[in-house]
Amino acid sequence: MMYRFLLLGILISLSLKGIAQLNSNQNTYKLWYNKPAEKWLEALPIGNGSLGCMIFGEVSQEHIQFNEQSLITGTTQIMGNYQPFGDLYIDFPFIGSKNYHRELNLNNAVHQISFTSNGVKYKREYFASYPDKVIVFFISADKKNQISGKVKLTDAHHALITTTAQKLIATGRLTENQMDYESQVQVINNGGIVTTDTSGITVTNANTVTILLSAGTSFINDFRKDFKGDHPHQRLEKILSAASKKTYEQLLKNHESDYHALFNRVQLNLGNTPNESTLDRLKAYKKGAKDPALEALLFQYGRYLLISSSRPGGLPANLQGIWNDEFKPAWYSQYTTNINIEMNYWLAEPTGLTECTAPLFDWVENLADVQKKSSDPKLITKKGWIAYSTNNIMGGNSKWGIHRPGSAWLSQHFWEHYAFTGDTNFLKNRAYPMLKDVVEYWDEHLIERPDGKLITPDGWSPEHAPGMIEGDRTPYPGVSYDQQIVYDLFSNYIEASKALNIDTDYRTKITEMRNKLLGPQIGKWGQLQEWMEDVDNPQDHHRHNSHLFAVHPGRQISPISTPEYAKAALVSLNARGDISTGWSTAWKINLYARLAQKNRSYDLIRQLLRQCIVENLFDTHPPFQMDGNFGYTAGVAEILLQSHIKEGKYYILQLLPALPDTWPDGKVKGLRARGGFEVNMVWKDKQLESCKIKSLLGNDLKILYNGKEIITKTSVGKIYQFNSLLKTIK
């Protein structure tokens, strides 16, 4: 039996200073290797949201392959592909080296390479700065006049490359869509001399060398101007001029201050970090070794990658974040709306990266406007909007099938942003209009069965059909995937309308429609049905878990509110099997966590790292896809804290709802919960030892832990602490 406790005597207000750190020592999260990268998936990524690069770290010839988020060959009419931009090479006169070390420090987003050659210790430090809009490469030595080398710039599309005294410029235009683009490299030496020829810039006997890289295109993120802006040359000139006037230390300080404001919000400690290199640890893990610290590192890596590929003012992270070296990458390396783009952002709100969602909202709003103006008969609607399955940065699409629920799924992120932040201006001006717009489409599109139930007439369960027919887009009525997404959409709209106290009559209508929707059904082998008819095959091991949307990322089914449906969902999930693609495995981590299957969720963590994580800790489908990294981080957050269920005015926080036996001791700081709560937890011997919850919005709170319940009212800015009390409640 569960007992309710009042605030008095149980909750202790603490000072704001008390939550500043989980403990006095901040965890260090590093990927490190004792040899250079030999291939692209061994190179390490850095990025400032729009500009990113992969660093190989070779001693005698440094190779840096770079991308800029908007360089695509598509338009509003054709899909096109996300493109590689170019390569930066630095040739050094080194014959040999020893004590080689390269690392990516996630704590400050700085990549370092160090080695010794001829008795001189060399260091290279690289970072991508969001505030200064450049990638910075700093080369130093422990003795003077030891830096010599040649800087060369190549362009992936054979652009014209010009040189000036200390600058390289590649200027080109894509033939497919006439997009102008340019990259600029500036070399700044301290000591020594610099000479220039048509092949590059040579530095001789310098003390230090700073290299600045910036790149851009004529793309602007505005459908009203057909996404076409000015040539990027003048903009890049200003960026490099401003950055070159700052010292390396100033650039680094700007970068770290900006990055720390996001990354330092969350810490996770699952155990001590071994001394072995990341590659050796990963190899051992794949052979069966236990390494909880590696699992924590991969959690933080997902946060690092989102910060590095999705920042305000830019575009959302695409299928590969912003990192791509192929002219025809898999699935265009753009945005697929039947799971991939949504999964990219599951981690943002729970792990304290709410600002990183801004590009997603901008893109969705532009996408909506482009679809509404389309002459494609498949996209024309009386109200609202729909889209094809895969879309580019300009709203162009692959023509591979309409994905009707895609706009509804995308709109969920607008609601989630409000649910976590309580930003009423965002709700009023952006979330509510988006939700209502899509609701109005489904208001007209649903049909009524003879029994009075409302169903979607032409749905699909990505990406197959009954009988396990891969890729079949034959429309079927009442598909569970569609039904569940529409239920979620209606629920979000109803709550948004209540929060703003507007459109009461229409809210009532949508509430009645939601109540008439065909809901989840349990089939003949105890499964949650994927189709309106009971035709599911228990041997179906398809990678998509589409009919389990109601479990995650939806909130229609849970062990707390709908235990019978949760049981059926577990039957379906187990039947799908554990072996799958990277992103699918990540989705299953989240699903098992929502179903409170702590060790099953962890089984999928093991599966992901063993089968789908490569040398530089990127996830593979295969091929490489970033959504698996992002989905993994979201899954770990779901294991530790859940807040998707609300009872009346109470926001429910489930503490350690799916903690696996393999994580008996741990600490987490800064996780976020819906309703505006920031949560710190320490557990020992699989039991919660202490918990601090900061209320950011003053909402009423119900805490669930280990079958126990605490209810309280909170005040804005107050911190509430729960210690051993949680273990003694009976």
pLDDT computed for residue 21 by the predictor: 36
Give the pLDDT confidence of 451-471 residue by residue, as tens digits: 999 999 999 899 988 887 887
d(CA 627, CA 618): 10
Tokens of 621: 């489908």
* Residue % of the chain over a pLDDT of 90: 91
Amino acid identity at 496: A
pLDDT computed for residue 23 by the predictor: 38
d(CA 713, CA 698): 7
CA 496 to chain centre: 25
* Residue % of the chain over a pLDDT of 70: 95
Task: Give the range among 117-131, 250-264, 551-565, 701-715 with minimum mean pLDDT.
Answer: 701-715
Tokens of 88: 């930066």
pLDDT computed for residue 578 by the predictor: 95
d(CA 231, CA 568): 56
Q: Is the pLDDT of residue 2 over 60?
A: no
Task: Give the range among 191-205, 390-404, 489-503, 710-724 with minimum mean pLDDT.
Answer: 710-724
Residues 352, 409, 299, 113, CA torsion sign? negative
Q: Is the pLDDT of residue 6 over 70?
A: no
d(CA 414, CA 286): 38
Amino acid identity at 441: Y
For residue 707, name the pLDDT band (cuts at 50, 70, 90).
confident
Q: Is the peptide bond prior to 553 cis by the omega test (within 30 degrees of 0)?
A: yes
Angle between helices 358-372 and 406-421 (to 10 degrees): 150
Q: Is the pLDDT of residue 105 over 70?
A: yes
pLDDT computed for residue 270 by the predictor: 98
Q: Is the pLDDT of residue 609 over 70?
A: yes
Rounded to an integer, the average pLDDT of 488-495 is 98
Dihedral of the alpha carbons of 217, 187, 128, 99, in degrees to the nearest 10? 140
Secondary structure of residue 233 in the 3-state scheme? helix
**Cβ proximity of 112 and 105 under 8 Å:** yes
What does the chain come to in residues?
A: 730
Q: Scanning the structure block, which residue is given the tokens 């002219």?
A: 327
Q: For residue 547, what are the CA distances in angstroms to 319, 441, 462, 489?
A: 22, 21, 9, 16
Residues 358, 359, 360, 366, CA torsion sign? positive
For residue 727, name the pLDDT band (cuts at 50, 70, 90).
low
pLDDT computed for residue 206 by the predictor: 98
Secondary structure of residue 25 in the 3-state scheme? coil
List the one residue out of 398, 153, 125 whose CA is nearest residue 255. Answer: 125
Rounded to an integer, the average pLDDT of 171-192 is 97
Rounded to an integer, the average pLDDT of 267-294 is 97
Rounded to an integer, the average pLDDT of 28-48 is 97
For residue 730, name the pLDDT band (cuts at 50, 70, 90).
very low
**Cβ proximity of 283 and 606 under 8 Å:** no
CA 253 to chain centre: 25
Task: Give the range among 17-26, 51-60, 213-222, 240-249 with minimum mean pLDDT.
Answer: 17-26
**Cβ proximity of 37 and 697 under 8 Å:** no
Bridging pattern class, strands 86-91 and 160-163: unpaired
For residue 1, name the pLDDT band (cuts at 50, 70, 90).
very low
Q: Is the pLDDT of residue 10 over 50?
A: no
Q: For residue 550, what are the CA distances in angstroms to 188, 555, 562, 597?
A: 55, 6, 11, 16
Q: Convert 36-54 to b/e letters by CB count within 10 Å (16 or more is b).
A: bbeebbbbbbbbbbbbbbb
pLDDT computed for residue 396 by the predictor: 95
d(CA 706, CA 92): 60
pLDDT computed for residue 19 by the predictor: 36
pLDDT computed for residue 27 by the predictor: 85
CA angle 186, 62, 170 (to 5 degrees): 40
Q: Is the pLDDT of residue 20 over 70?
A: no
Angle between helices 480-500 and 432-445 (to 10 degrees): 130
Can you give the residue ranges of every domain in the chain?
12-22+653-728, 43-264
3-state secondary structure 121-170: EEEEEEEEECCCCEEEEEEEECCCCCEEEEEEEEECCCCEEEECCCEEEE
The answer for 102, left when phi > 0, alpha when psi is -120 to 50, beta otherwise, is beta
Q: Is the pLDDT of residue 496 over 50?
A: yes
Q: For residue 272, what are the CA distances in angstroms to 27, 56, 141, 259, 319?
A: 10, 28, 32, 25, 32
Comparing 17 with 660, the larger pLDDT belongs to 660
Query: Is 2.60.40.1180 the CATH number for 12-22+653-728?
Result: yes
pLDDT computed for residue 723 by the predictor: 73
d(CA 584, CA 277): 28
Secondary structure of residue 27 in the 3-state scheme? coil
Residues 580, 583, 585, 588, CA torsion sign? negative
pLDDT computed for residue 465 by the predictor: 86
For residue 91, name the pLDDT band (cuts at 50, 70, 90).
very high
Secondary structure of residue 200 in the 3-state scheme? strand
pLDDT computed for residue 317 by the predictor: 98
Tokens of 280: 């050796």
pLDDT computed for residue 130 by the predictor: 98
For residue 726, name the pLDDT band (cuts at 50, 70, 90).
low
- Which positions ≥6 away from 541 have C-beta within 8 Å? 575, 576, 577, 579, 580
Comparing 463 with 170, the larger pLDDT belongs to 170
pLDDT computed for residue 695 by the predictor: 97
pLDDT computed for residue 654 by the predictor: 97
For residue 96, name the pLDDT band (cuts at 50, 70, 90).
confident
Give the pLDDT confidence of 26-35 residue by residue, as tens digits: 689 999 999 9
DSSP state of 429: I
Rounded to an integer, the average pLDDT of 527-533 is 97
Burial class (CB in 10 A: 0-12, 13-18, 19+), 22: buried
pLDDT computed for residue 472 by the predictor: 82
Q: Is the pLDDT of residue 3 over 50?
A: no
φ/ψ of 121, rounded to 5, equals: -95, 125
Q: For residue 20, what are the CA distances in angstroms to 293, 416, 558, 680, 716?
A: 23, 26, 33, 10, 17
Q: For residue 577, what are the CA distances in angstroms to 479, 558, 584?
A: 21, 20, 11
Give the pLDDT confidence of 414-442 residue by residue, as tens digits: 999 999 999 999 999 999 999 999 999 99
List the one residue out of 423, 422, 415, 461 whose CA is nearest residue 439. Answer: 415
Q: Is the pLDDT of residue 647 over 60?
A: yes
Tokens of 171: 């200027």
Q: Is the pLDDT of residue 500 over 50?
A: yes
Fold of 43-264: Beta-galactosidase; Chain A, domain 5 (2.70.98)
pLDDT computed for residue 176 by the predictor: 96
Tokens of 511: 């509430």
